[in-house]
Amino acid sequence: MGGGVSGLWLALRALRQGTPTRILSIGPFGGYASTKNQGWLHSGALYALNEAFELALACRRGTAEVQSLCRGAQPSLIAPHVKGAFVPENAQQMEAVKIRLDAAGIPFSVRAMADVRDADLLCSGNPDHDVLVTDDYAIDTQLLIRRLIAEIRRSGGEIVTAGTVDRMRHQRGLWTIDLDCGSVSSETVVLALGAGLPAFLRNHLPSVAGPEYVVTRSRVLAIGCASFNTIVVPLAPGSPTVVPIWHAGEVKGITICIPYDNEVERCYELSEGHPAMTEKTIDYCTDMLPGLRHQLQSKRPEMGMYTCQKLMLEGESGGQESARLHKVDTLTEGLYSLYSGKMSAAPVAAAACLSKLRSDGVILTADYPNVSDDDEYDEPTRISERPAISIVDRREARKGLSKSARRE
């Protein structure tokens, strides 16, 4: 249950190993984090440099599976030219990062910042500084979701979508989920609800103790400019990450993500939806990425801001990347939860979930060795716009500010 990348990858892997599987999505597929995220298909470099090596490995393996699934798609689901550029603050940090990437087996090259597209546009650093270039990619998250659904259909999976869950109950070894459009039953249910898991358990299964997760929010600024082609990761503390929006075969702009744990007091003091929030977020981003200020002033692109939620292990609010590793939990008889942590790690998280179900005797088939290389797809080519992003005009947003908000 759950129509994001976790549920979809789990369903696909289960079907490919011969386990009859039905996927249930409440609301549209991919309507949550799986399409609101930055669309960064991770090489694992970001996590290796924080010494979260297990997460780095999960991303590396997961990314290879995603690439395999996306092979041959038209338009290309993965931007062919986008690379990662990690910008160290100084030579000492550069050396430390190189050691960690080597330790994680993540390929990289070292280039002058001036030779790397976009890095110098965003970072105010000396263009003679070196930058680490990695195999990180931008992926079209909407088309990825569609491709997963197409594969699930092709593998014989049953797909159910509903508007709401009315009730969920367990009787005589069978879970029954009452929906607004009927009921579905199964001996085993995996809840792959992303950040929606705690609320779902509270509302529908209050007696089930869920995993010790807390919901955390990240702010994402979306800017509609077409000139950025690099994932730029300044390594100064608190820096946002910049990822090109790759959609329907084109770069549509960039997303800039401010993780929940960075400079909390500067970014989170305003409640969600407050008109000054976008302004604050823009100020934060331009302070951290000084080159961006020039870009925004000279080109005046459209921009907007949204919030996206994820789960964090309780007690890990310091932002350790290892707390974002995938997790499979047994909640009660026949009921499991799966959390991927990263879109890039979702295939690996799904494999871990199936391995748990196998060791519990729930499924008896062997795991399939690898994803199929079949590239015969009838891929949808048109999606009007990335729905997760509501673009607002900055000048319009300004007009909406009250005087007190402006002073603030």
When the beta carbons of 125 and 259 are compared against ligand FAD, the nearer one is: 259
Check: CB of residue 313 under 8 Å from CB of residue 213.
yes
Write down the residue that tokens 């979701």 correspond to: 145
When the beta carbons of 231 and 276 are compared against ligand FAD, the nearer one is: 231
Binding site for ligand FAD (CB under 6 A): 2-7, 25-27, 31-34, 37-40, 42, 165, 192-196, 199-200, 218, 220, 257, 308-310, 339-344
When the beta carbons of 18 and 211 are compared against ligand FAD, the nearer one is: 211
Structure tokens at 178: 């009452």
Q: What is the closest distance, in whole angstroms, from the C-beta atom of residue 406 to ligand FAD in the complex? A: 27
Q: What is the closest distance, in whole angstroms, from the C-beta atom of residue 52 to ligand FAD in the complex? A: 13
Q: What is the closest distance, in whole angstroms, from the C-beta atom of residue 145 to ligand FAD in the complex? A: 9
Q: What is the closest distance, in whole angstroms, from the C-beta atom of residue 341 to ligand FAD in the complex? A: 5
- State the Cα–Cα distance between residues 69 and 191, nearest whole angstrom: 23
Instruction: Give the side-chain half-sphere CA count within 13 A for 10.
Output: 32
When the beta carbons of 1 and 94 are compared against ligand FAD, the nearer one is: 1
Check: CB of residue 383 under 8 Å from CB of residue 257.
no
Nearest to 11 by CA among 126, 207, 155: 155
Check: CB of residue 331 under 8 Å from CB of residue 170.
no
Q: What is the closest distance, in whole angstroms, from the C-beta atom of residue 358 to ligand FAD in the complex? A: 21
- State the Cα–Cα distance between residues 358 and 190, nearest whole angstrom: 13
When the beta carbons of 220 and 363 are compared against ligand FAD, the nearer one is: 220
Q: What is the closest distance, in whole angstroms, from the C-beta atom of residue 165 to ligand FAD in the complex? A: 6
When the beta carbons of 125 and 240 are compared against ligand FAD, the nearer one is: 240
Q: What is the closest distance, in whole angstroms, from the C-beta atom of residue 176 to ligand FAD in the complex? A: 15
Structure tokens at 398: 């300004």
When the beta carbons of 345 and 397 are compared against ligand FAD, the nearer one is: 345
Q: What is the closest distance, in whole angstroms, from the C-beta atom of residue 190 to ligand FAD in the complex? A: 11
Q: What is the closest distance, in whole angstroms, from the C-beta atom of residue 91 to ligand FAD in the complex? A: 28
When the beta carbons of 4 and 88 are compared against ligand FAD, the nearer one is: 4
When the beta carbons of 40 and 108 are compared against ligand FAD, the nearer one is: 40
- State the Cα–Cα distance between residues 378 and 375, nearest whole angstrom: 9
**Closest CB to ligand FAD: residue number:** 196
Q: What is the closest distance, in whole angstroms, from the C-beta atom of residue 328 to ligand FAD in the complex? A: 12
When the beta carbons of 5 and 131 are compared against ligand FAD, the nearer one is: 5
Structure tokens at 138: 């931008």
